Every structure is written in structure tokens, then in C-alpha cells.
Amino acid sequence: MQQTELHKFQPDGFLAMIAAMRHDSRLSRMLHVLIHMDSLDTPATSETIAGMLNTNPVVVRRTMAGLREQGYVQSGKGHGGGWALARPLAEITLLDIHHALGDPPVFALGTTDEHADCLVERAVNAALGDALREAEQMLLQRFGSVTLADLAKTVKAQPRKRKA
């Protein structure tokens, strides 16, 4: 193998890269909020939701605005205002919310093109790319078959733990 084709593996750099990967938790966080909202008698304020998610109300408003644009939630201003579901949970799928959030990547894994002329890198990228596309397609298909009502049923079927 020619010296130019051999790439030095640097474990410290690799570990730093892995540690820097961030998980996009918006989908799970919004599903959490929407299922809670279904059991509320009044609209949830951005402040209430922010407290639930341990985030800033501005982040909540920005995220919920995308859901409102797609017709999954509605908002009211002033006293008694806040966020409420615009549709029953049975009419909203995980895929719907994924789309409303801007179709964030479902995997933190990816390929690199640092050495695009390297045959090994191209083979690795082709194999990983095909597998990731297939896995993403299967996952999104599953998201489309699960409603928020399905999730809520699972939650309601679980015994509640009492606080001591």
C-alpha cells in the first residue's frame, strides 16, 4: 500500500469527535409534551412547557410554532392562553411530528469525505451510506404507523409509581 493511501488512525481525535456528536432530542421532547397536553384541561403556557423540558420559553415557542403551522397545535394569547392540541392524538403520527420539526437527521452516524480519493474510504462510505438509507427508510415507515394515541395508551397502561 502506498504511503499516501495509508491514513493514520488517531484515537484521541476519534473519541473527541464521538463525544462532540449531539443527539437531537426534539422529537422525543415534543412527543412528551403533546401527550401531556392531551391530559390538560387548559392550554399549557410556554413557561409551563419550558419547565417540563428544562429549557427556555423562547425555544418552546419557536418549536411549537412549527407544530402550529402544520395544524397539530393551536395557540392563544393573553389570560388563559397557551398551547393546546388542534387534533386528537389518534390523528397525529410520530412521522407527522418528525416532519413538523424539519425532518431532523435520525442518526448521528455519517460518512466522511476527508480522503475522497481513497478506495477504502469510498468502499466504507458506500456500505455505510446504503445501510443508513435503508435503516432510515424503515424507521420513518415505522414512525408513520405509530400515533400519539398509541404512545398515550402505553403510558396509561403502566402502573404509576407513588412518591415516598
How confident is the model at residue 2, as a pLDDT? 46
pLDDT in tens, 18-56: 455 557 788 999 999 999 999 988 999 999 999 999 999
Contact 111, 125 (CB under 8 A): yes
pLDDT of 1 higher than 50: no
CATH class for the region spanning 24-157: mainly alpha
Burial class (CB in 10 A: 0-12, 13-18, 19+), 148: buried
Rounded Cα gap, residues 27 and 95, in angstroms: 9
Q: What is the DSSP letter of 155?
A: H
Lowest model confidence (mean pLDDT) among 47-51, 62-66, 81-85, 121-125: 121-125
Find all residues with CB under 8 Å of 78, minimum gap 6, and list them: none
pLDDT in tens, 4-18: 444 444 445 545 544
Secondary element (H or E) of residue 75: strand 73-76
Question: Given this model, what pLDDT does residue 99 score?
Answer: 95
- Amino acid code (one letter) for 25: S
**Cell output for 129:** 451510506
Tell me the pLDDT tens digit for each residue of 125-162.
888 888 888 988 999 999 999 999 999 998 776 666 65
Residue 154 in grid coordinates: 402505553
